[in-house]
Amino acid sequence: MNSNVENLPPHILRLVYKEISALAADPPEGIKIYPSEEDITELHTAIEGPEGTPFAGGIFRMRLVLGKDFPAVPPKGYFLTKIFHPNVGHKGEICVNVLKRDWKAELGLRHILLTIKCLLIHPNPESALNEEAGRLLLEDYAEYESRARLLTEIHAMGGTSGAPQDPNDGPQPKKHAGDPTKRAGPSAAAVPAVLGNGANGASTTSSNSNSSSSTNNVAGKKKADKKRALRRL
């Protein structure tokens, strides 16, 4: 979605920047704020699934988009994390009165975020964008809860929702997979040879030591024979 920074008057941009800075410094409980330095007309947030709901334990990423007529016209809200909820459409669009007929310019972004978090606690099946979720909420809550919980576990727990990055993700050092002769260090085939050379080296050293000892013994014997011969003279 295109930025509306150039379409908003400077005094509105200053007000938006001030409000987003305040939100980032003191966010509502259970909500994290991710302001963009490049485009303050699009605010990304992460909402913790409230306890006692099928969304508990999940982290739901969401964004608010401020249009060119803001604040006369309310922002548009979208869930980026897939969620099974009556008031969230299949493309993530959010249906809540504060983003429609109940909007007032003085309400501000904090009020919107708190209202959307409350929507996770108290869905409104009468204005359902997801008709199946709305029907199950009214007719078979256990099935609704099961479906909502399943999608929470799949999409809102771990992965892109804040879990530590897998060390195997991202760029990896280059290596020649499947060809051990091109890997760093001695190859598997070379290891026995190296060990063998070491053993041979040890044998050679031992042989050289024995040979040197024998030579020394012979030389000593010759010296003793010479001494005896001189005494006889």
Between helices 10-25 and 108-121, what is the axis angle to 10°? 50
Range of the structural domain that residue 48 is part of: 5-157
Q: Among the options 12, 95, 96, 156, which is catalytic?
A: 95
Domain count, the chain: 1
Q: Is the dihedral of CA 219, 223, 229, 233 positive or negative?
A: positive
What is each CA distance from 166 to 82, 143, 154, 169, in whole angstroms? 21, 33, 17, 5
118 flagged as catalytic: no
Q: Is residue 11 part of a domain?
A: yes
pLDDT top residue among 185 and 14: 14
Q: Is residue 205 part of a domain?
A: no
Q: Is residue 188 part of a domain?
A: no
Q: Is residue 184 part of a domain?
A: no
Return the structure tokens found at 176: 């020649």
Question: What's the rounded mean pLDDT across residues 182-196?
Answer: 37
pLDDT top residue among 218 and 170: 218
Q: Is residue 100 part of a domain?
A: yes
Question: Cis before residue 74, ω within 30 degrees of 0?
Answer: no
pLDDT band at 122 (very low <50, low <70, confident <90, very high): very high
Q: Is residue 136 part of a domain?
A: yes
Interatomic CA distance for residues 95 and 130, integer angstroms: 10
Question: What's the rounded mean pLDDT across residues 91-97?
Answer: 96
Q: Is the dihedral of CA 108, 54, 146, 79 positive or negative?
A: positive
pLDDT at 3: 75
CATH of the domain at 59: 3.10.110.10
Q: Is residue 228 part of a domain?
A: no
Could you give the angle at the alpha carbon of 62 between the alpha carbons of 61 and 67, nearest 5°?
A: 160
At 32, give phi and psi (nearest 5°). Answer: -105, 145
Percent of the chain scored above 90 by pLDDT?
62
User: Which amino acid, one-letter code, is at 188?
Assistant: A
Indicate whether this model's pTM tops 0.75. Answer: no
